[in-house]
Copies of this chain bind each other. A is one copy, B any other.
Amino acid sequence: MKTQNQTSIRVYKATGFIGEYQKLIRNTVIPYQYSVLCDNAPDTEKSHVVQNFINAAKAVRGEDVGDGFYGMVFQDSDAAKWIEAAAYSLSLMPDKELESTVDGLIDIIAEAQDNDGYLNTYFTIKDKDKRWKNLLEGHELYCSGHMMEAACAYFEATGKRKLLDVMEKNTEHIYKHFIAEKNEGFPGHPEVELALMKMYHTTKNEKCLELARHFVNIRGCDTEFYKKESLKRDWTVWGNNPEDTDYQQSSAPVRAQNVATGHAVRAVYLYTGMADLASQTNDKELFDACRRLWESITRRRMYITGGIGSTVIGEAFSVDFDLPNDTAYAETCASIGLIFFASRMLENEIDGEYADVMERAFYNTVLAGMQLDGKRFFYVNPLESIPGISGCTATHWHTLTQRPKWYTCACCPPNVARLISSFGKYAYSENSDTAFCHLYASGEVKFENGIAFSCETQYPYDFTVTYKILCGGKIAVRIPAWSKEYKLTLNGESVDESPENGYVTVSAENGDVIVLILDDAPRFVYASPKIPELTGCVAVERGPLVYCFEGADNDGDVLSLSIPRNADLNVGEFNEEIGAVTITVNALRTTHCDGLYTYETPDAAQYTARAVPYYTWGNRGENQMRVWMTRG
């Protein structure tokens, strides 16, 4: 069973938990991030993004801008992701002033495009002669890809074509370089593949599809491409090793790849493009590769939080079952990319497994990436944080105990903003006669196939989801794997069909009411003994939320807590400060010993331990945090 691509959801208005997050993005994150792009945010690292475009425009006009570029080689993408987020937000909540701000930024960006369609401030300002000579590190296709996504989103939100025209012209430039002129190469940081697919969905321009297919198919065919490329130039951006083909997802043609390797964000962006292409072109061989890579990630290389890329060294996948809690990288962007991948897999085949992972990554790693007030962000999302060690040592420098404001490499904050603002694209999909409900969120949705309904729920803290059908049709409702029990009714009558691939399909007419009641019991989770880090450990979940234990709720010390085998989990009070339902468990508190080791069996006293949702951690000052607790 296949569904259409994401652009098909034309109307989506969220309220409730997701709606509040979308308002936070709109009212706090988007204005703050814009001020960063313009270097107007106080106490924040310089961004220079807008100024880079202004300077590039001057360079295009032949003016001398000297050392007019500042930032990372991919600095442009911050602007692109911000526009994309603003576009989605505008489609939810139209606003003249924000739209005018975006229009102004688009004008500046358009000016920075070279006459031949090339668009990249780094190379335009620094050295035009270096264009397309360092695909390994130059991020030109990456930046183009993000601007394509922004162009599609803004066109969809406003109907305005200016940025879309810019990016069609840019696509022509890329097409000319790589297809017409047959220049070799594929992007060091995949992204353009999925973006070209979006361009194709939006514009139906066949060159976009052809280019996407080209970049997917050529990748890894010449495993020495980056090596040869590097020998042709006397400069690098970061000194990346051009021979590390695993790191570059180019050790084999993508259709022959079996294992998710290398830089995690790059990997899942690539797989997203592959899956979209496979779905669009009914490419079974390509889908099979996607499926193998999906299984490599989700069955052997993924944290319980949906975090991926467990090692800081290269922000990369490690080997199977190497999932350390305390030194985890688990970049926010990587989980966002995993959600992209999952959503494109759902376009290939409806299977609740994809939505389960999407939900896990969203409610845990992605939401944890942002402070509850929307003002600070984590790149890195460890599953254990111990002040004094985390953020302090040579092996834990990256696992900060508190979210910082903005990074020089600011990929995660705007990525969170664009994902939350486009939640509806992931929550729903459709085919000609069916609406698929992958995620649960209050709001209204109208599908292109004509089906429309409102959804009411206090999810993820209440587990009753009520669909009021406004325009009838087949409604496929996901039953999450975590819900041991559930109840589904149509107008009060039980729907007894078993789920097929994780979904129960209900034929509903106008005015019908579908009610799904999911399991609200907190539950323990155990890990495979193949994961060395997690032997003898237990975690707590409720609904889609992974819980964690913080010092703030446990007398400052979670390390000495353990959870006995017969422990009960109970839903605790609502914590106003973090806006979350807590869970209590009758744990044991082990007494401390002098020094490091003892021959005395440690005493353990009864202790009611309190857990909070993982996404809320680190919002109450620096303190200990653990997802996986000791059993015993």
A535 in the interface (beta carbon within 8 A) = yes
What is the CB-to-nearest-CB distance from A144 to chain B, in angstroms, rounded to a whole number?
A: 30
Count residues on chain A whose CB falls below 8 Å from chain B CBs: 62
Name the residue of chain B whose CB is nearest to the CB of A313.
Answer: B394
Contact with B along A530-564 (1 / 0, CB 8 A): 11100111000000000000000000010110100
Q: Knowing that A319-B389, A525-B598 are A-B contacts, what are 20 other residue pairs whose CB atoms are under 8 Å apart, sorted by A's residue number?
A: A299-B595, A304-B596, A304-B597, A311-B393, A311-B395, A316-B394, A318-B393, A318-B394, A322-B393, A482-B599, A526-B593, A526-B601, A527-B597, A529-B557, A529-B602, A530-B592, A535-B559, A535-B590, A536-B537, A632-B632
Minimum C-beta distance from A411 to chain B (A): 21
CA distance A526 to B593 in the complex (A): 9
Number of copies: 2
Known contacts A394-B311, A394-B316; A528/B595 CB under 8 A:
yes
* A632/B384 in contact, CB under 8 A: no
A630 within 8 A of B: yes
- Digitize A299-327: 1 where CB-to-B-CB distance is under 8 Å, 0 elsewhere: 11010100000010110101111111011
Q: What's the Cα separation between A594 and B353 when bound, in Å? A: 14
Distance of A308 from chain B, by nearest CB (Å): 11
Chain B residues near A96: list those with CB within 8 A: none
Interface assignment of A565: CB less than 8 Å from any CB of chain B: yes
Question: Does A486 count as interface, using CB distance less than 8 angstroms?
Answer: no
- CB contact under 8 A between A596 and B302, given known A311-B395, A320-B388, A394-B314: yes
Any chain B CB within 8 A of the CB of A130?
A: no
Whether, in the assembled complex, A2 has its beta carbon less than 8 Å from a beta carbon of chain B, the answer is no
Confirm or deny: A176 has a beta carbon within 8 angstroms of a beta carbon on chain B. no
The 7 closest A-B pairs by CB, nearest first: A536-B630, A313-B394, A529-B560, A631-B632, A535-B630, A529-B559, A299-B595
Residues of A79-124 contacting chain B, CB below 8 A: none
A162 at the interface (CB under 8 A from B): no
Q: Nearest-CB distance from A105 to chain B (Å)?
A: 39
Q: Which residues of B contact A482 (CB under 8 A)?
A: 599
Query: Does A600 make an interface contact (CB < 8 A)?
Result: yes
Q: Which residues of B lie under 8 Å from residue A318 when comparing CB positions?
A: 389, 393-395
Q: Considering the complex, which residues of chain A in the window 374-402 have a beta carbon less than 8 Å from any beta carbon of chain B?
A: 384, 386, 388-389, 392-396
Contact partners of A536 in chain B: CB under 8 A: 536-537, 562, 630-632
> Which secondary structure characterizes the binding site on chain A?
loop
Least CB distance from A437 to B in Å reads 23
Most central of A327, A394, A531, A598 by chain B CB within 10 Å? A394
- The docked-state distance in angstroms from the alpha carbon of A595 to that of B353 is 12
Are B596 and A527 within 8 A (Cβ)?
Answer: yes
Of all chain B residues, which has the CB nearest A360? B597
Closest CB of chain B to A365's CB: distance in Å?
15
Contact assessment for A528 and B593 in the assembled complex, using a CB-CB cutoff below 8 Å:
yes
Within 8 A of B (CB), among A395-414: 395-396
Q: Is the CB of B319 within 8 A of A388?
A: yes
**Closest approach, in angstroms, between the C-beta of A226 and any C-beta of chain B?**
19
Query: Which chain B residue lies CB-closest to A301?
Result: B596
User: Interface code A57-80, partner B: CB below 8 Å = 1, 0 otherwise?
Assistant: 000000000000000000000000
With a cutoff of 8 Å between Cβ atoms, the chain B residues found around residue A630 in the complex are 535-536, 631
Which B residue's beta carbon lies closest to that of A560?
Answer: B529
Q: Is A524's CB within 8 Å of the partner chain B?
A: yes
Residues of B within 8 A of A595 (CB): 298-299, 528
Q: Taking the nearest CB of chain B, how far is it from the CB of A590, in angstroms?
A: 5
Asked if A484 is at the interface (CB within 8 A of a chain B CB), the reply is yes
CA distance A392 to B318 in the complex (A): 9
B528 touches A598 (CB 8 A): yes
Contact, CB under 8 Å: B525 / A597: yes
A-B contact pairs, 15 of them (CB 8 A): A299-B596, A318-B394, A319-B393, A326-B532, A482-B599, A523-B599, A524-B599, A524-B601, A528-B595, A528-B596, A529-B602, A530-B592, A532-B559, A535-B560, A536-B562
A609 smallest CB distance to B (angstroms): 13
**Chain B minimum-CB-distance residue to A247:** B394
